[in-house]
């Protein structure tokens, strides 16, 4: 198991923080004005899309097919919302990033439901993985922000034992260009099962041992080439 540190509201510079992230450490930052705006936007869009029901309890009111149809409209709207593109650079600037040297991607809204409801397609329940198996560049850093309060049974988990170990995987099957051309647009059609081929670990892994549960608007930062999570 690699030795890792988890930093909370660290004042270190962006350059030093990147070095620590690439070394395998994790950073947690409290909510800031721009991150609160971003999650408030996401929450408002969710509440409007699923009204009059609470989006966090939607499995009590709608079918998986109805939920998938709503998410198929909502998620692209959030991804490409002009406010997201305005706010993300502000969030990064609040933590000392040099925007003249920064490339950022549009945000993805993740959804998770009970195992007997909707866990495929547009609400795919990810197995343990590294994002580099999905062709993410090794230099990429991910920042996760909860929109609603997290629960320990419904949140991202880490596998620290494997941060410094290679894992047998079949990522050779995954072609990012082919995925975009053939599979991404059909996500909402995979409601009861998901037959799209995705890379997975080819060895048995220990269970999740670490879950970080920051409040809505807080940020969890990690480097993709080091971390295994689900």
Q: Is 75 helix (H, G, I), strand (E, B) or coil?
A: helix
Cα separation, 185 vs 212, in Å, equals: 31
Q: Is residue 211 part of a domain?
A: yes
As a whole number, the mean pLDDT across the chain is: 91
Tens-place pLDDT, residues 34-92: 999 999 999 999 999 999 999 999 999 999 999 999 999 999 999 999 999 999 999 99
Q: Is residue 113 part of a domain?
A: yes
Task: Enter the tokens of residue 103.
Answer: 């490339």
Domain count, the chain: 1
Indicate if the pLDDT at residue 200 is higher than 60.
yes
Question: What one-character-per-residue DSSP string does 2-64 give?
Answer: ----EEES----HHHHHHHHHTT-EEEE---HHHHHHHHHHHHHHHHHHTTS-GGGGGGTS-H
- CB of 211 within 8 A of CB of 10? no
Give the domain extent around 126: 6-223
Q: Is the pLDDT of residue 228 over 80?
A: no
Residue 143: per-residue pLDDT: 94
pTM: 0.89
C-alpha triplet 61, 65, 68: angle, nearest 5°: 95
Number of alpha helices (DSSP H) and beta strands (DSSP E) in the chain: 5, 6
Q: Is residue 170 part of a domain?
A: yes
> What's the sign of the alpha-carbon dihedral 192, 193, 196, 200?
positive
* Within a domain: 230: no
Is 228 a domain residue? no
């Amino acid at each position: 198991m690699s030795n890792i540190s988890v930093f909370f509201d660290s004042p270190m510079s962006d350059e030093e923080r990147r070095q620590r992230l690439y070394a395998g450490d994790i950073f947690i930052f409290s909510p800031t004005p721009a991150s609160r705006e971003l999650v408030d936007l996401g929450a408002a869009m969710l509440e409007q899309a699923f009204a009059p029901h609470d989006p966090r309890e939607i499995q009590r009111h709608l079918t998986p097919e109805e939920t998938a149809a709503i998410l198929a409209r909502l998620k692209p709207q959030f991804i490409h919302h002009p406010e997201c593109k305005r706010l993300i650079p502000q969030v990064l600037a609040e933590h000392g990033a040099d925007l003249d040297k920064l490339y950022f991607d549009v945000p993805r809204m993740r959804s998770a439901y009970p195992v007997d409801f909707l866990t495929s397609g547009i609400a795919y329940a990810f197995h343990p993985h590294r994002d580099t198996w999905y062709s993410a560049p090794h230099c990429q850093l991910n920042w996760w922000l909860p929109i609603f309060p997290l629960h320990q049974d419904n949140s991202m988990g880490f596998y620290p034992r494997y941060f410094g170990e290679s894992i047998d995987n079949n990522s050779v099957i995954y072609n990012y260009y082919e995925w975009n051309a053939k599979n991404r647009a059909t996500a909402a059609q995979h409601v009861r099962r998901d037959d799209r081929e995705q890379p997975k670990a080819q060895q048995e892994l220990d269970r999740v041992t670490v879950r970080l549960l920051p409040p809505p608007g807080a940020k969890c930062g990690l480097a993709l080439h080091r971390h295994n999570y689900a």
